Structure 1
Amino acid sequence: MWPAPITLTGTHVTLAPLSMDHAPGLRAASADGELHRLWYTTVPEADEMENEITRRLSLQKAGTMVPFCVMTPDGTPVGMTTYMNIDATNRRLEIGSTWYRKSVQRGPLNTEAKRLLLSHAFDDLNCIAVELRTHFMNHQSRTAIERLGAKLDGVLRSHMDQGNGVIRDTAVYSIIASEWPAIRANLTWKLEKPR
């Protein structure tokens, strides 16, 4: 399997292979801020968490996703993220299906999580490109992706049915291998500078 499940650990976050054991903590995380009510993204409701974990693990078994539980350093689950749309032949993947409980948003956790995922993708897996996608109207996510240093490749118009009556326009961003050293340096600087 490429990539194989792995635990990635930093100062502010741990990304662990997702398991059903994470369900209770992820139910609490989903309820923080009622994230499932956001119309432009998909966050599982607390009572749907086991189904979402099962869905992600079945995609892992099929070889198209590697799901992670996002945790604080003390092991508290605060969200999920994945490697998805995996193309092992061309050494490309997407970081996506990411959500965090409201109380940890806009802090160092996301920056470090992305740095860990990107470092593993480029430094260990030898990826040639990593994509990040979001709803065109998800300005918070687009700003965060752009702050990473990813470049907008374009917008896929009427790209997908979100299942809530909304047809999503998808903003597609990417980072290519030659850009990774500068982006790594910038993310490291952001994490090390005084707050």
Structure 2
Amino acid sequence: MSEFADPVPLTGERVALEPLAHHHAGELRAVVAEGDLHRTWYTRIPAPDAVEAEIERRLGLQRQGVMAPWAIRRLDTGALCGATTYMNVRPGDRKLEVGSTFLAPGAQRTGINAEAKLLLLTRAFEVLRCVAVEFRTHWHNHQSRTAIARLGAKQDGVLRNDTVMPDGTLRDTVVFSVLDTEWPAVRNGLRHRLAR
């Protein structure tokens, strides 16, 4: 397995990223049930009764070498509050995407997402030596688009009618990225946000 698909533990001051495992299922069921997170129409967040299958899907992709999945644990309460991944990993091109992320409503706007992304980007650029890291989201997911831009990623473009969603609608995918040459400024911006 490529180092790109190895979800090593990552820890900051607010959050710990733990390699995703089946024992996280109970806590993740509670996360997706909070505020009916799984009912958000423009995302693919599993329903509580589909969490085990989603964990197995992510672990299967890890075994194939194309995903590194993590569970997100907040350090102030010790509670699991979401999940995230490196996906579409391309070690030969030194690229990957950070995605398939969901975060409990109670953990949003707390700095947890910003620190999780800082940990993931630091590993991507400083350990894996990536030349680019992508973020993709649904055109209608304005909250995600704003959060990605606040990280310091730049919008590359929109892939029209890119994906058929579970309800049959077509998703326009907004693609953002951070380049290795931009990483020092992005890192400084994230550190500044977290220090406030």
Same fold (TM over 0.5): yes
Can you list the C-alpha shifts for 1:134-177, whole angstroms capped at 9, x where unaligned? 00110000000000110000000000011112110000000000
* Aligned residue in 1 for 2:117: 114
The answer on 1:46 being equivalent to 2:48 is: yes
Deviation for aligned residue 1:75: 3.6
Q: Report SS of the residue matched to 1:33.
A: helix
Q: How does 1:133-172 map to 2 (within 5 A)?
A: 133-172=136-175
CA distance in 2, matches of 1:163, 1:37: 12
The answer on 1:189 being equivalent to 2:178 is: no
Q: TM-score, normalised by structure 2?
A: 0.97
Range 147-156 or range 65-74, more displaced? 65-74
* Aligned residue in 2 for 1:82: 85
CA distance in 2, matches of 1:136, 1:2: 31
Deviation for aligned residue 1:16: 0.7
* Aligned residue in 1 for 2:3: 2
Counterpart of 1:47, as a letter, is D
* Aligned residue in 1 for 2:68: 66
Gaps of 5+ in 1: none
Deviation for aligned residue 1:36: 1.1
**8 A contact 1:7–1:15 mirrored in 2:** yes
Counterpart of 1:153, as a letter, is D
Deviation for aligned residue 1:77: 1.2
Q: Report SS of the residue matched to 2:181.
A: helix
Report the count of equivalent residues: 193
What value does the CA root-mean-square deviation take over the aligned residues? 0.8
Of 15, 22, 25, the match for 2:24: 22
Gaps of 5+ in 2: none
Deviation for aligned residue 1:76: 1.8
**8 A contact 1:14–1:75 mirrored in 2:** no
* Aligned residue in 1 for 2:58: 56
Can you list the C-alpha shifts for 1:5-34, whole angstroms capped at 9, x where unaligned? 200001111101000010000000111110
* Aligned residue in 2 for 1:103: 106
CA distance in 2, matches of 1:48, 1:181: 39
Q: Report percent identity of matched pairs.
A: 50
Q: Report SS of the residue matched to 2:60.
A: helix
